[in-house]
Structures are given as C-alpha cells and as structure tokens.
Amino acid sequence: MIRFDNVALSYGPKAVLRNVDLAIPAGAHVALSGPSGCGKTTVLTLAAGLCRPAAGTVRVEAKKIAYAFQEHRLLPWRTAAENVNLVLGDTAATMPQALHWLDLLGMADGADLLPAALSGGMRQRVNLARALAYDGDLLLLDEPLKELDPSRRDSVLALLREHAAGRTLLMASHDREETEALAEQVLVYRDGQFLSL
C-alpha cells in the first residue's frame, strides 16, 4: 500500500510536487503519466524511500521494493550477470537464477559483458532483470520500455505483466501503450496533482 498525504517537494527554487495526494492499495497496478519534469520519477523516489518530502507524509507498506531505475544504475565494473546476482545475495549458488532472469529478458548472450559494452536497450533489460529477480512485493518501474527496440517490447511487456500479478505496481511513463498494457489505473499530471483519468 502506498499513501501520499499533502506531499510537497522542491528542488531548489523549483517546486516539483505541490500537495500531492495518492492512495494505491496493495496489489493495484497504477501508472503515472505526464510531461517530462512533472514529478513522476520524484513520486517513485519518494515511494522507494530515497528522499523525504518537504511537507506532508509518505507511507509505504512493502517488505521488499524492486525498482527499475530510469538511468539503469548498473555497477560499471560488474558484468550484466553479476549486476543481477548482486540483489540475489551475490553468491555462486544464486548465479543460475540471475542468468535465468537475463535469459527471460533475451540477454543470455550479453550476460558476461560489462555495462559499457552493452547498448542502451540491453542495459535497460539488465536493469529490468535485476528488478524482477529481486522479487519485491512492490515494483517501481520508471519508463520500463525506454530504449528497447520495437521487436522486444511485446515480450518484455508480457513478462512484466506476468511478474506484476499479485504485487503492487507503480510505474512512470509517457508511453500510452506501456501504461495501458501494465496498469489498471492511469494518474495524469494536472496542476501539480496526479489525477485519475
């Protein structure tokens, strides 16, 4: 369950969120939509506990949070497989599981490559594999299909949909196809608030 009450946040003089209220029940699949810079990523960051609101309260009830970041955030000195394995306990015993997730995302061939040797789309798939492998009960996805080539979108969407079943999903995207495929409810940014369509 995610609950935002009167949440406000500014970056310097720029107010990003103004008195935002959100109530996402456990198991719901919700997408945030709106123009760039409207605060979609900030909502995910607050939900993940990576920053605190300047005003208002954020309550998140989740045992484990899996977050597919917009900027991949892969350790540059670790291979794709090692990056996924990192969240699984980072042992030799968990490596087959990491490879399994990479395989599901069509990254079996790139498992031994460092992020610098991967394309943007491949890095995004490793980012997604890491989030899915973590098995969180809350799944935060920030522009999950960004940089993926069109031939992969359907299979990745299907995998995300299957994985999100029974979990709470909060995603940020301006891709309508992606939000319609994954979310039951789309909250659109209007005048500092995320409103239900």
> Where on the chain is the footprint of other proteins (CB under 8 A)?
48-50, 64-67, 69, 71, 73, 75, 77-79, 82, 85-87, 90-93, 95, 130, 134
Q: To which residue do tokens 């239900």 refer?
A: 196
Cβ atoms of residues 65 and 48 within 8 Å:
yes
Cβ atoms of residues 65 and 136 within 8 Å:
yes
What is the nearest approach in angstroms of other proteins to the Cβ of residue 39? 17
Complex with other proteins: residue 82 or 147, whichever CB lies closer: 82
Distance between CA atoms of 158 and 80, rounded to whole angstroms? 22
Q: Which helix (H) or strand (E) holds 16?
A: strand 14-24
Amino acid letter, residue 85: N
Cβ atoms of residues 171 and 144 within 8 Å:
yes
What is the nearest approach in angstroms of other proteins to the Cβ of residue 55? 22
Complex with other proteins: residue 22 or 74, whichever CB lies closer: 74
Distance between CA atoms of 28 and 187, rounded to whole angstroms? 13
CA pseudo-torsion sign 111, 105, 67, 193: positive
Complex with other proteins: residue 66 or 157, whichever CB lies closer: 66
Shortest CA distance to 37 belongs to which of 17, 20, 22? 17
What is the nearest approach in angstroms of other proteins to the Cβ of residue 94? 9
What is the nearest approach in angstroms of other proteins to the Cβ of residue 171? 15
What is the nearest approach in angstroms of other proteins to the Cβ of residue 58? 15
Complex with other proteins: residue 79 or 173, whichever CB lies closer: 79
Complex with other proteins: residue 65 or 182, whichever CB lies closer: 65
DSSP state of 115: G
